[in-house]
Amino acid sequence: MSNSSIVGYARVSSVDQHLDRQLAQLKDEHVEKFFVDKVSGKNLDRPGFAAMMEYVREGDVLVICSMDRLARSLMDLLNVTRTLQNKGVTVRFLKEKIELSPSGETSAISKLLMAMMGAVAEFERSLIRERQQQGIALAKARGVYRGRKPVDNELLEEAKRRIAAGVPKTKVAKNLKIGRTTLYKYLKG
């Protein structure tokens, strides 16, 4: 397989976060081709992820710093790794020290470890969300939680003008730094 390569995938949840640590780890693994995303991993609709899935081919090794960088739910994690294995791609998770060989070559113990580690990661995320919600409820009870600052009406009017001019809503929200949900709520009401 002289055409095979070592491919790396890195993701952070927002444009404010940095990929430096992950990219350094991937370089240490002799990664030749990098794919990155600066978006939430709540779903698989990510440009870097899609490009990586299209790029990898039989014989390639995909290196990811941690399972939660690839997928946020156990179901997505299992489906993605199975798809990659079926393509003949080896998947290596650095933090968990798990390597999944192409279909038929991965040991039962590796499959079990991956499913358990993925389930633990998903559970950990749900605990974090639960603690966050409890903290917000306590802050509201003390009267110190005010939520997000409301979006300026002038900004929302500008958004309306741009949309009327034919600019896609997602692009308008991004350019004006307004949450898409907020923009859609405003347009509805």
For residue range 17-76, list pLDDT tens digits in order: 889 999 999 999 999 999 999 987 778 889 999 999 999 999 999 999 999 899 888 888
Is residue 97 one of the residues assigned to a domain?
A: yes
Is residue 126 one of the residues assigned to a domain?
A: no
Residue 104 and residue 25 in one domain? yes
Average pLDDT estimate for 148-166:
86
pLDDT of 106 reads 67
Active site annotation includes 13: yes
Residue 113 and residue 161 in one domain? no
Which domain, by its residues, includes 89? 6-120
Residue 115 and residue 183 in one domain? no
Is residue 144 one of the residues assigned to a domain?
A: no
Residue 99 and residue 23 in one domain? yes
Residue 60 and residue 18 in one domain? yes
Is residue 96 one of the residues assigned to a domain?
A: yes
Is residue 147 one of the residues assigned to a domain?
A: no
Q: What is the CATH number of the domain that holds 44?
A: 3.40.50.1390
Q: Which of 5-9, 67-71, 89-93 has the lowest mean pLDDT?
A: 67-71
Phi-psi region of 178 (alpha: psi -120 to 50; beta: other; left: phi over 0): beta
Average pLDDT estimate for 65-92:
91
pLDDT of 1 reads 45
Residue 21 and residue 110 in one domain? yes
- Total of domains in the chain: 2
> What DSSP string describes the chain?
-TT--EEEEEEESSTTS--HHHHHHHHHTT-SEEEEEES--SSS--HHHHHHHHH--TT-EEEES-HHHH-SSHHHHHHHHHHHHHTT-EEEETTTTEEE-STTSS-HHHHHHHHHHHHHHHHHHHHHHHHHHHHHHHHHHHT----SPPPPHHHHHHHHHHHHTT--HHHHHHHHT--HHHHHHHHH-
Last residue of a domain, one of 120, 138, 168: 120
pLDDT digit string, tens, across residues 103-150: 776 677 777 877 888 788 788 878 888 888 898 889 889 988 887 777
**Catalytic entry in 4, 13, 66, 73:** 13
Residue 16 and residue 108 in one domain? yes
Average pLDDT estimate for 137-165:
86
Q: Is pTM beyond 0.75 here? A: no
Residue 25 and residue 89 in one domain? yes
Is residue 134 one of the residues assigned to a domain?
A: no
